[in-house]
């Protein structure tokens, strides 16, 4: 076999290896919007990120802290639910991790760090569905009194967005 043929085979092998590595890296961190019927289907070791979850005050109500007085069209908490299932049967339970990242209000990173999302779910996933509940609230416990007005203006009637990261390992 000539040196040119060996060289071309080597280059072809490197291209195949590099493209499969890139494809695997892409597949191992999938991003998607609006999962159908809020069902997330995972494979082992696969991280899925829902981009972004949006809470619109016109449809969900205006989120207010528990220190405020509840009025019409306002709410202390907004609940979201996802059903998580594995895309194949496993022999033993896997750890299920659900985290929230990139919390923003009208594209501004979490003003005054007031928005928090509580995640509750079974920490293990086997061959049955797991319900994941997200509760979005405003925590103004550490807000300085002189910032109340600015915080109110930063949040009132504004959309809240964040990513939800699902990982089974």
Structural domains in the chain (count): 2
Give yes or no: residues 56 and 25 share one domain: no
Give yes or no: residues 141 and 118 share one domain: yes
Per the structure block, which two tokens stand in for 82? 């996802």
Could you tell me the residue range of the domain that residue 139 belongs to?
Answer: 33-168
Give yes or no: residues 16 and 96 share one domain: no
Output phi, psi for 161, to 5 deg.
-130, 155
What is the torsional sign of CA 101, 106, 112, 116? negative
Dist CA 133 CA 137 (whole Å): 13
- Render each residue's pLDDT in the chain as its tens digit; 169 residues: 677 666 556 555 544 444 433 333 333 333 444 554 567 666 656 667 776 888 888 888 888 898 888 888 889 999 999 888 888 888 998 899 999 999 999 999 999 999 999 999 999 988 888 999 999 999 999 989 899 899 989 988 899 999 999 888 8
Above pLDDT 90, what percent of the chain? 32
Give yes or no: residues 79 and 140 share one domain: yes
Dist CA 151 CA 64 (whole Å): 11
Closest CA to 143 of 108, 117, 116: 116
pLDDT of 19: 41
Total Cβ atoms within 10 A of residue 50: 21
Q: Containing H/E element for 154? A: helix 148-155
Give yes or no: residues 51 and 24 share one domain: no
The pTM of this model reads: 0.74
Tens-digit pLDDT profile for residues 129-161:
899 999 999 999 998 989 989 998 998 889 999
Q: Containing H/E element for 162? A: strand 160-168
């Amino acid at each position: 076999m000539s040196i040119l043929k060996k060289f071309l085979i080597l280059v072809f092998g490197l291209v195949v290896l590099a493209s499969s590595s890139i494809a695997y890296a892409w597949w191992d961190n999938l991003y998607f919007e609006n999962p159908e019927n809020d069902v997330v289907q995972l494979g082992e070791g696969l991280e899925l990120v829902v981009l972004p979850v949006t809470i619109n005050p016109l449809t969900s109500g205006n989120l207010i802290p528990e220190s405020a007085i509840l009025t019409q069209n306002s709410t202390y908490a907004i609940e979201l639910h996802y059903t998580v299932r594995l895309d194949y049967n496993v022999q033993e339970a896997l750890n299920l991790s659900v985290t929230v990242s990139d919390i923003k209000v009208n594209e501004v990173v979490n003003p005054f760090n007031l928005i928090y999302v509580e995640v509750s779910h079974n920490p293990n996933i086997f061959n049955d569905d797991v319900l994941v509940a997200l509760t979005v609230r405003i925590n103004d416990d550490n807000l300085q009194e002189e910032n109340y007005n600015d915080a109110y203006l930063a949040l009132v009637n504004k959309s809240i967005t964040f990513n939800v990261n699902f990982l089974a390992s």
